[in-house]
Amino acid sequence: MLAERYDVFLIDLDGVMYVGDELLPGSGEAVEALRRMGKQIYFLTNDPRYLRREFCEKLLRLGVSSQEEEFITPGWTAAHYLAQHSIRRVQVIGTASLRAEFANQGIQAVTTGECQAVVVGYDECTTLAEVEQAVRQIENGAWFIATNSDLSFPGKDGRQLATGAIVQAIQAACRRIPVIIGKPYPPMFQQALYKTGNSSRTVMIGDSPDTDILGAHQCGLDAILVERIACRYPAANDYRLPNARITTLLELFQHSSDFREWRNPGFPWPDTIEPGVTAVILNSQGEVLLVERVDNGLWGLPSGHVEKAETVTQAIVREICEETGLAVAVEKLVGVYSEPATQVFSYPSGKRTHFITLCFRCTITGGHLRADKNEISRAAFFAVDELPANLLPMHPQWLNDALDKAAAAVIR
Ligand SMILES: [Mg+2]
């Protein structure tokens, strides 16, 4: 049974222990049974509104006993995170309890004057003036911290806006990406792992594939989905696929044959999927054009994004002209590359993109070679048997594909 596979249970609250003010059937008994088996339990919630003590009191009102230390909340984790970074003055968008978390760590929540960080949580009384003040603080250099990224939740009169909607409004106005504390991002899982001594026999149990399951798998943990409506994902490597599915916590103690091992597929989970273009361009000596990228210092074939309203061939011709000053004509398609192990890229901003890249062989028709200093530091031709050592790992293969005269376009 699932309960025997693990020593540490990280349990989501809303949707697993309770919904609103109602305990879910079997959840209290399951927690008691896990305690009798000597298991460690931590409750991980994305709800930024309450203190850990208030969650503890709520469970007790519902008939489940727990300790305050067993709760890992985004407010508590954010306060620890900022205290560790010596932040002393913050603007808090959120409840009085969220502000109290910061006071407990010696961090002053201010409403006027300069601050070192803006923390966006959730309070239904949030005003536009507070949101605009947050934008100005961030533009003046304050850190941008979000307790969680959940966009909405079901309210009594329909869907209500949640923290993520406020965060996205600020993000859109000041074009900065926040540090997000809640699931599926690492900080709360890291707190849990720190408390449990990094036990490999740890599992996350939650009802959200996009936060609980994805977050656990990103941290290398197993994850069990409490599923009331069947959700399926098409790709076998999807991080949101759980190790097991249950409908109530009591199923942890039943015989189950439906268990799927989780193996990290060797690439980070991307935020978006985008079309990209790359070119193999040879000069009259048969040397290949490479560029050295400013962002990661690596050499690679010239490449770029397909912009809106553009064909893929227009995109590669434009990118080559912008990056290198050369005019080129597309000769043929070399290949289409989508393998996530090489095509998911992480950027310094934290964004991760999965590219579907079309590689073209191109011929030079004019222009003079120069490097566009915004994106590339150098552009040069290299003999194909003397490529630089710090070359993007998949590009030698793409070059070989381009030099294979007999081959039709490859698909990898
Ligand atoms: Mg939940």
pLDDT value at residue 347? 83
One domain for residues 175 and 223: no
Q: How far is the CA of 108 from the centre of ligand 1 (A)?
A: 30
**270/351 Cα distance (integer angstroms):** 8
Structural domain includes residue 60: no
Last residue of a domain, one of 120, 155, 180: 180
Structural domain includes residue 391: yes
Residues contacting residue 318 through CB under 8 Å, at least 6 positions apart: 304, 307, 310
pLDDT(197) > 90: no
How many CB atoms lie under 10 A from the CB of residue 172?
Answer: 9
- Mean pLDDT in residue range 76-90: 96
pLDDT band at residue 234 using 50, 70 and 90 as cut-offs: confident
pLDDT(20) > 90: no
For 254, the token pair is 């039943």
- Mean pLDDT in residue range 244-263: 90
Structural domain includes residue 267: no
pLDDT(34) > 80: yes
One domain for residues 283 and 394: yes
Helix (H) or strand (E) holding 331: strand 326-337
pLDDT value at residue 348? 79
Nearest-CA neighbor of 312 among 343, 337, 338, 278? 278
pLDDT value at residue 372? 79
- Mean pLDDT in residue range 172-180: 94
One domain for residues 398 and 289: yes
pLDDT(257) > 80: no
Instruction: Evaluate whether 288 touches 282 at the Cβ level (below 8 Å).
Output: yes
One domain for residues 107 and 95: yes
**324/50 Cα distance (integer angstroms):** 55
One domain for residues 191 and 168: no
One domain for residues 247 and 287: no
Q: For 179, how many CA atoms within 13 A lie in the half-sphere containing its CB?
A: 18
pLDDT(407) > 80: no
**40/194 Cα distance (integer angstroms):** 13
Q: How far is the CA of 237 from the centre of ligand 1 (A)?
A: 23
CATH number at residue 210: 3.40.50.1000
Q: How far is the CA of 145 from the centre of ligand 1 (A)?
A: 21
Q: How far is the CA of 97 from the centre of ligand 1 (A)?
A: 20
One domain for residues 280 and 402: yes
Q: How far is the CA of 208 from the centre of ligand 1 (A)?
A: 6
- Mean pLDDT in residue range 225-251: 91
One domain for residues 291 and 318: yes
- Mean pLDDT in residue range 304-316: 95
Structural domain includes residue 65: no
Q: How far is the CA of 19 from the centre of ligand 1 (A)?
A: 9
Residues contacting residue 44 through CB under 8 Å, at least 6 positions apart: 10, 11, 12, 13, 72, 183, 188, 189, 192, 204, 206, 212
- Identity of the residue numbered 327: A
pLDDT band at residue 373 using 50, 70 and 90 as cut-offs: confident
pLDDT(370) > 80: yes
Helix (H) or strand (E) holding 22: strand 22-23
Last residue of a domain, one of 197, 224, 253: 253
pLDDT band at residue 285 using 50, 70 and 90 as cut-offs: very high
pLDDT value at residue 219? 94
**334/408 Cα distance (integer angstroms):** 7
For the residues of 346-387, what is the DSSP string, one character each? Answer: E-TTS-EEEEEEEEEEEEEEEE-----TTTEEEEEEE-TTS-
Q: How far is the CA of 332 from the centre of ligand 1 (A)?
A: 50
Instruction: Evaluate whether 251 touches 30 at the Cβ level (below 8 Å).
Output: no
- Which residue range forms the structural domain that includes residue 242? 2-46+183-253
pLDDT(54) > 90: yes
pLDDT(16) > 90: yes
The bridge status of strand 303-305 relative to strand 272-281 is antiparallel
- Mean pLDDT in residue range 403-410: 85
Last residue of a domain, one of 180, 196, 220: 180
pLDDT value at residue 73? 98
Structural domain includes residue 27: yes
One domain for residues 35 and 92: no
pLDDT band at residue 10 using 50, 70 and 90 as cut-offs: very high
- Mean pLDDT in residue range 83-90: 96
Instruction: Evaluate whether 392 touches 299 at the Cβ level (below 8 Å).
Output: yes
- Mean pLDDT in residue range 115-122: 96
One domain for residues 232 and 358: no
Structural domain includes residue 194: yes
One domain for residues 399 and 302: yes
Q: How far is the CA of 137 from the centre of ligand 1 (A)?
A: 32
pLDDT value at residue 248? 94
DSSP, res 211: I
The rounded mean pLDDT for the chain is 93
pLDDT value at residue 89? 96
Q: How far is the CA of 322 from the centre of ligand 1 (A)?
A: 47
**62 CB-contact burial (10 Å; exposed 0-12 / middle 13-18 / buried 19+):** middle
- Per-residue pLDDT of 123-154, as tens digits, reads 989 999 999 999 999 999 999 999 999 998 87
Helix (H, G, I), strand (E, B) or coil at 244: strand
Residues contacting residue 205 through CB under 8 Å, at least 6 positions apart: 9, 10, 11, 12, 16, 212, 223, 224, 226, 246, 249, 252
Q: How far is the CA of 44 from the centre of ligand 1 (A)?
A: 9
How many CB atoms lie under 10 A from the CB of residue 334?
Answer: 26
pLDDT band at residue 402 using 50, 70 and 90 as cut-offs: very high
Structural domain includes residue 61: no
**88/240 Cα distance (integer angstroms):** 37
Q: How far is the CA of 13 from the centre of ligand 1 (A)?
A: 6
For 13, the token pair is 């609250």
For the residues of 166-177, what is the DSSP string, one character each? Answer: HHHHHHHHH--P
pLDDT value at residue 245? 94
The number of domains in the chain is: 3
Q: What angle do CA 107, 179, 160 make, to 5 degrees?
A: 90
Structural domain includes residue 304: yes
pLDDT(182) > 90: yes
Q: How far is the CA of 352 from the centre of ligand 1 (A)?
A: 25
Q: How far is the CA of 144 from the centre of ligand 1 (A)?
A: 24
One domain for residues 285 and 306: yes
Q: How far is the CA of 184 from the centre of ligand 1 (A)?
A: 12
Q: How far is the CA of 226 from the centre of ligand 1 (A)?
A: 9
Q: How far is the CA of 227 from the centre of ligand 1 (A)?
A: 11
**287/264 Cα distance (integer angstroms):** 38
pLDDT(256) > 90: no
- Mean pLDDT in residue range 187-216: 93
